Amino acid sequence: MQINDKSQTIEYLASPKRYNTMTYKRTGKSGVLLPAISLGLWHNFGFVDNIQNAREVLRSAFDLGITHFDLANNYGPPYGSAEENFGTILKQDFKSYRDELFIASKAGIDMWPGPYGNWGSRKYLMASLDQSLKRMGLDYVDVFYHHRPDPNTPLEETMGALTDIVRQGKALYVAISNYQPEETKRAAQLLKASNTPFILHQARYSMFDRWIENGLLDTLEDNGIGCITFSPLAQGMLTDRYLNGIPEDSRAAKNLTYLDKEAVESNIKKIKSLNEIAQKRDQKLSQMAIAWILRHPQVASVLIGASSASQLQENVKALDNLSFTDEELKLIDGIVQ
């Protein structure tokens, strides 16, 4: 998709101060440093969205020191369109900065019809990554994920495919997403045996969704693997969006599969109480929610989405206050749990 805007003729020059203020965290025991806040392209970057706005968000992100852009084969909509739009913007704005970027893609969730377009077979993972590289105009991605566990494909096959992807030079590192602790431990053993650089586990995590506290963080620590979290704002609940009701143009009002009115209404008292703590910290609720996740030493980065450059800039301000008192943490736990 072409960018039909006069600004496409204006050369993008990244801010010379882009690395001055961003916090970078080591990813497990690897050599990789990730920005504490990374940009996820799950929403707002598909063919249904304004590509010029997407371009402005990406430019703003890089100028803020965000080097990590997270994609997947089926991000859009439609499937594949986020990668294709990203490839267009990459070619026009970021080609000369490729070695400063850490680009991710994934496969493991429904992508194309038939028996080879889903889950974790070698056939699917290999074909999907080839398609992703073509859409983005890349020779390799920095990290490639298996997006979710496959209950039917042997883990040896899935991890073996990831190993061969690295050996073929199509990814520098590998990662997994949404795996339980025991599955993660077994994947780590298989990848270690083949000397495959396994550096990240991507998991949903927020004040309202703490499933990774079931032992996953300890498993990652024990195996030298970093954690990168998504949905830190609980699909918008941990913001000031719903403090005064449910706006007509909000996600909850649209009753989307990942957020509906009932979820917001059942949590509104908690949201307001958490907002009071954030105000005392001189933060917005969204900023406190991001900082709360980053307090974990295992968390290398928090993935956030952004519908505008200004929203992105606001969330990055979470890094201005990452410290919590014991009293604040107890209050947050008391409200949420």
User: Does residue 180 register a pLDDT over 70?
Assistant: yes
| pLDDT per residue as tens digits for the range 88-137 | 999 999 999 999 999 999 999 999 999 999 999 999 999 999 999 999 99
User: Does residue 6 register a pLDDT over 50?
Assistant: no
Output the pTM of the full model: 0.94
CB neighbours of residue 156 within 10 Å: 11
CA–CA distance, 167 with 195 (Å, rounded to integer): 10
Strands 102-107 and 68-70: parallel
Every domain of the chain and the residues it spans? 18-241+279-321
What is the assigned CATH class of domain 18-241+279-321? alpha beta
pLDDT of residue 53: 98
Confidence of residue 248 (pLDDT cuts 50, 70, 90): confident
What is the average pLDDT value for the chain, to the nearest integer? Answer: 95
pLDDT of residue 9: 57
DSSP one-letter code for 91: I
